[in-house]
């Protein structure tokens, strides 16, 4: 299907007409990317998924994953063909019950050609049967599937779905999930949302998880291993399920002393951000050698290293803040990462103030003073950092600094109204930096163009009156080191 890689134009159109049957004169292939300039091949065009039903079986000893994925989707154009993003070996694809042709292309495209064209605006069901050894599959030379001594973990950003389920892999296409996983008895399977059932038969245990609110593909997670599972309820009544690998050793106590505060911290955050958007809470700490944490929906992933030097509630604050900023309101494109990371970092500052370990202003002052004007830190624009700097420390620290500057500009009343109103305004949806600016302008009645430009877009250290408040040389806030210690993701 080489014509798909030819630039659009007469030649492409002509070969397309020759290559496919009669219905295709008006029915065309969906785009192989959803249109994100940071990652042109991520996601796909031509359809929108509403639900993923994943039935999986995983064998830790061999890293063999078998599965059947059933996708419910709606076409957004007259489709002759469409892609899913996926790396494992596919044995069968059915579209509306009928066997479809399929092939692989690019780094991670599964190209599906249904027997007949699919009219725009119709609901379709796609069944994909597959198997494979996820750790053996690479795209762009890497794998993000993490094997552990007793299982494996899928948790990464932006790429984690390709190794375990076929998807339209971009935050713009959110869907609900049923994830059912069979694992050897004695092993547990952790995923997002509520645990609907567990059962064991013939040496295998099945864990059924459900996420019934829209969820971005990178926020879907799977962890298999030997876990100790704790259950509870937040004061506001949300059920909490946490899971700790049995191999955490001397990090076990600090992990529990942090993650067991999930209900308390989520309730505290809802005071700033409004009601918690989901019906499940928790966190899991698998036995992985990595350092990062990730805001996987309802149930963040924490590397044990986050707890290597003692309890770290600040990282729990960060990941739970994402449940509103990042998960409930997701980026439209990856360039909008500030609407996720800037606020998760700012929540850590609010927690510091709450704990009497330094105010948000003191932390802003410290960030501002820590980087001289010629520091490369100021060359990264959090409002459009580029794919290579998407998770640069500036997106977090300068991103939170910008939020403090906004607060100083519009005052506490308008600021906290924005903070709480935003997740409602775009509930279960997507938004851009421009959407945020528009909303803050509406609430505050001020033109915020210059402020957003100075703090988020200029590749230079902000100066002048807007910065005057930040320029005193502050003492180091008590929380500074602990917040810095949550920065592991910038180190690889």
Distance CA 293, CA 296 (A): 9
Closest CA to 479 of 339, 313, 325, 324: 313
Which of 27, 164, 292, 455 contacts ligand TRP by CB under 6 A? 292
**Where does this chain touch ligand TRP (CB under 6 A) — which range of 102-110, 111-119, 289-297, 424-432?**
289-297
Which of 128, 154, 294, 367 contacts ligand TRP by CB under 6 A? 294
Smallest distance, Å, CB 157 to ligand TRP?
4
Smallest distance, Å, CB 295 to ligand TRP?
6
Which of 346, 391, 422, 455 contacts ligand TRP by CB under 6 A? 391
**Where does this chain touch Zn ion (CB under 5 A) — which range of 142-150, 342-350, 356-364, 480-488?**
342-350
Smallest distance, Å, CB 253 to Zn ion?
25
Q: Is 28 in the site for ligand TRP (CB under 6 A)?
A: no
Nearer to Zn ion among residue 173 and residue 341 (C-beta): 341
Distance CA 384, CA 435 (A): 14
Smallest distance, Å, CB 386 to Zn ion?
18
Which residues inside 133-172 make contact with ligand TRP, applying CB under 6 A?
Answer: 156-157
Nearer to ligand TRP among residue 414 and residue 489 (C-beta): 489
Name which of Zn ion, ligand TRP, none residue 157 binds, using a CB cut-off of 5 to 8 Å depending on partner kind.
Answer: ligand TRP
Name which of Zn ion, ligand TRP, none residue 82 binds, using a CB cut-off of 5 to 8 Å depending on partner kind.
Answer: none
Smallest distance, Å, CB 432 to ligand TRP?
18
Q: What is the separation of C-alpha 227 from the centre of its chain, rounded to a whole number of angstroms?
A: 23
Question: Which residue of this chain has its Cβ atom nearest to ligand TRP in the complex?
Answer: 489
**Where does this chain touch ligand TRP (CB under 6 A) — which range of 167-175, 291-299, 354-362, 456-464?**
291-299
Residue 140 backbone class (left: φ over 0; alpha: ψ -120 to 50; beta: rest): left
Site map for ligand TRP, 295-334, x if CB under 6 A?
Answer: x----------------------x----------------
Nearer to ligand TRP among residue 216 and residue 451 (C-beta): 216
Which of 189, 293, 394, 418 contacts ligand TRP by CB under 6 A? 293
Q: Could you report how far apart the first and last alpha carbons of the chain are, in Å?
A: 36
Question: Which residue of this chain has its Cβ atom nearest to Zn ion in the complex?
Answer: 344
Smallest distance, Å, CB 311 to ligand TRP?
17
Distance CA 308, CA 304 (A): 7
Smallest distance, Å, CB 326 to ligand TRP?
7
Give me Rg for the CA atoms of the chain.
Answer: 23
Q: Is 344 in the site for ligand TRP (CB under 6 A)?
A: yes
Name which of Zn ion, ligand TRP, none residue 324 binds, using a CB cut-off of 5 to 8 Å depending on partner kind.
Answer: none
Q: Is 344 in the site for Zn ion (CB under 5 A)?
A: yes
Name which of ligand TRP, Zn ion, none residue 256 binds, using a CB cut-off of 5 to 8 Å depending on partner kind.
Answer: none
Closest CA to 245 of 307, 181, 312, 196: 307
Which residues, listed in sequence order, are joined to residue 123 by a DSSP beta bridge? 74
Nearer to ligand TRP among residue 97 and residue 289 (C-beta): 289
**Where does this chain touch ligand TRP (CB under 6 A) — which range of 44-52, 233-241, 287-295, 328-336?**
287-295
Which residues, listed in sequence order, are joined to residue 124 by a DSSP beta bridge? 73
Burial group, residue 204, by CB count within 10 angstroms (0-12, 13-18, 19+): middle
Size of the site for ligand TRP (CB under 6 A): 11
Nearer to ligand TRP among residue 256 and residue 318 (C-beta): 318
Name which of ligand TRP, Zn ion, none residue 392 binds, using a CB cut-off of 5 to 8 Å depending on partner kind.
Answer: none
Name which of Zn ion, ligand TRP, none residue 156 binds, using a CB cut-off of 5 to 8 Å depending on partner kind.
Answer: ligand TRP
Q: Which residues bind Zn ion (CB under 5 A)?
A: 341, 344
Binding region for ligand TRP (CB under 6 A) = 156-157, 292-295, 318, 341, 344, 391, 489
């Amino acid at each position: 299907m080489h014509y798909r890689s030819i630039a659009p134009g007469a030649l492409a159109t002509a070969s397309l007409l020759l290559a496919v049957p009669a219905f295709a004169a008006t029915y065309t292939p969906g785009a192989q990317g959803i249109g994100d300039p940071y990652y042109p091949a991520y996601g796909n065009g031509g359809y929108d998924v509403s639900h993923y039903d994943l039935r999986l079986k995983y064998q830790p000893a061999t890293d063999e994953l078998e599965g059947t994925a059933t996708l419910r989707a709606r076409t957004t154009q007259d489709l002759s063909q469409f892609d899913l993003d996926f790396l494992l070996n596919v044995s069968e694809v059915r579209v509306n019950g009928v066997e479809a042709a399929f092939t692989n292309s690019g780094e991670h495209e599964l190209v599906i050609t249904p027997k007949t064209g699919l009219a725009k605006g119709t609901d379709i069901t796609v069944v994909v049967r597959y198997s494979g050894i996820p750790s053996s599959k690479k795209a762009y030379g890497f794998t993000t599937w993490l094997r552990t001594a007793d299982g494996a973990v899928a948790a990464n950003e932006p790429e984690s779905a390709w190794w375990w389920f076929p998807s339209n892999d971009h935050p713009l296409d959110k869907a609900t999930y049923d994830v059912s996983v069979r694992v050897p008895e004695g092993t547990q399977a952790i995923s997002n949302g509520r645990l609907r059932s567990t059962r064991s038969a013939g040496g295998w245990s099945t864990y059924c998880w459900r996420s019934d609110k829209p969820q971005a593909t990178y926020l879907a997670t799977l962890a298999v291993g030997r876990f100790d599972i704790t259950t509870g309820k937040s004061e506001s009544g949300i059920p909490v399920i946490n899971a700790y690998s049995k191999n955490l050793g001397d990090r076990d106590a600090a992990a529990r002393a942090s993650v067991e505060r999930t209900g308390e911290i989520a309730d505290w955050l809802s005071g700033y951000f409004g009601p918690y958007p989901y019906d499940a809470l928790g966190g899991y700490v698998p036995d992985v050698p990595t350092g990062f944490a990730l805001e996987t929906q309802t149930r963040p992933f924490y590397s044990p290293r986050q707890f290597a030097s003692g309890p770290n509630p600040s990282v729990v604050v960060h990941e739970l803040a994402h449940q509103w900023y990042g998960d409930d309101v997701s980026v439209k494109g990856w360039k909008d990462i500030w609407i996720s990371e800037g606020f998760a970092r700012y929540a850590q500052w609010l927690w510091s103030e709450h704990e009497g370990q330094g105010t948000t202003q003191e932390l802003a002052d410290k960030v501002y003073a820590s980087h001289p004007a010629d520091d490369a830190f100021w060359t990264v624009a959090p409002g459009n950092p580029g794919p290579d700097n998407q998770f640069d420390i500036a997106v977090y620290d300068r991103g939170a600094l910008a939020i403090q500057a906004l607060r100083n500009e519009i005052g506490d009343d308008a600021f906290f109204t924005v903070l709480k109103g935003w997740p409602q305004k775009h509930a279960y949806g997507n938004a851009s930096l421009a959407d945020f600016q528009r909303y803050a302008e509406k609430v505050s009645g001020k033109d915020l163009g210059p402020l957003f430009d100075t703090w988020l877009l200029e590749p230079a250290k902000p100066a002048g009156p807007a910065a005057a408040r930040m320029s005193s040389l502050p003492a180091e806030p008590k929380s500074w080191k602990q917040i810095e210690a949550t920065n592991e993701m910038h180190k690889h």
